Amino acid sequence: MTTTPQRLGFIGLGIMGTPMAGHLIAAGHRVFVATRSTAPAALTDAGANVCTSAQDVAQQADTIFLMLPDTPDVAKVLFGDNGLAAGLTAGKTVVDMSSISPMETKVFAQKINALGCDYLDAPVSGGEVGAKAASLTIMVGGPQAAFDRVKPLFELMGKNITLVGGNGDGQTCKVANQIIVALNIAAVGEALLFASKAGADPAKVRAALMGGFASSRILEVHGERMIKRTFNPGFRIKLHQKDLGLAMQGARELGLALPQTASAVQLMQVCAANGMADLDHSALVKALELMGHHEVASA
């Protein structure tokens, strides 16, 4: 895709942010970056301009992307010392692609709007694989005009890009996504554990299920991880715990009961309590295995 070269900012160069910023640079944009640690050589070698603070990024760029771990991190980058807000001038756009609180997002948007700038919340799904392949699903909240303006940039990072509604609605959509993913991981884990303990070959059970109504992306990707015991992180348990915490917080505020989500929260907590918080979220199956005294792959 060809876009007119722009001055862009990218703050947060972790597992996800580094390849996402790389796609923007590869498309010919001038990208100003900031991170808590050393900027990855892959980006600096490609031409990224390293800034010393979020304020510096805001002064240099017209559209600034954030990809940070949690709500407090976004708040600090936006409004802390030498934060983004201190360097913004009217007409610029802030795009938060982190997965954070929908409620706090609305507050952040109001504060950025008061500076004469647009704000989009645009969390993603697809993990490290999707970030590297530029195939992320991007769920956006904010004004239509800002979305239309930024969409060509989103298309450099993702495939399924949807304006869900106003500010906060993108984050709400991401929380809903994380509920579905967590419950599917738990379901696949229980199914493969059951099959394995009963003496069936879990790999062959998974292959059979992939051709039926139980087929899913989770069964395909994470089911294979469970069988092959490849739990190196694409998306860490502790980050999914954070997202499910947002779901439970929102449920309390909305007067909802989310019993299956609460169960998934506890399974992830079992993993975290046993030193597995930095494993991929497919390792949720390990909590089930601990309770069943059996591993999926030991059929």
Q: Is 38 exposed, middle or buried (0-12, 13-18, 19+ CB in 10 A)?
A: exposed
* Per-residue model confidence (pLDDT) at position 234: 82
**pLDDT level of residue 1 (50, 70, 90 thresholds):** very low
| Mean of the per-residue pLDDT values of the chain | 96
In the chain, the percentage of residues whose pLDDT exceeds 70 is: 98
| Mean pLDDT along residues 7-15 | 96
**pLDDT level of residue 127 (50, 70, 90 thresholds):** confident
Task: Tell me how far CA of residue 255 lies from CA of 65, 83, 102, 215, 248, in angstroms.
Answer: 33, 35, 16, 33, 10
Distance CA 164, CA 148 (A): 13
**pLDDT level of residue 72 (50, 70, 90 thresholds):** very high
What domains are there in the chain, each with its CATH number?
7-165 (3.40.50.720), 173-292 (1.10.1040.10)
Whether residue 160 has pLDDT greater than 90: yes
Q: Which residues are catalytic?
A: 174
Place of tokens 């802390």: 80
- Please list, residue by residue across 52-85, b when 16 or more beta carbons sit within 10 angstroms of its beta carbon and e when fewer do: ebbbbbbbbbebbbbbbbbbebbbebbebeebbb
Whether residue 298 has pLDDT greater than 90: no
Tokens describing residue 105: 């997002």
pLDDT digit string (tens) for 190-220?
999 999 999 999 999 999 999 999 999 999 9
* Per-residue model confidence (pLDDT) at position 3: 59
* Per-residue model confidence (pLDDT) at position 37: 86
Closest CA to 98 of 16, 161, 40: 16
| Mean pLDDT along residues 21-38 | 96
| Mean pLDDT along residues 24-47 | 95
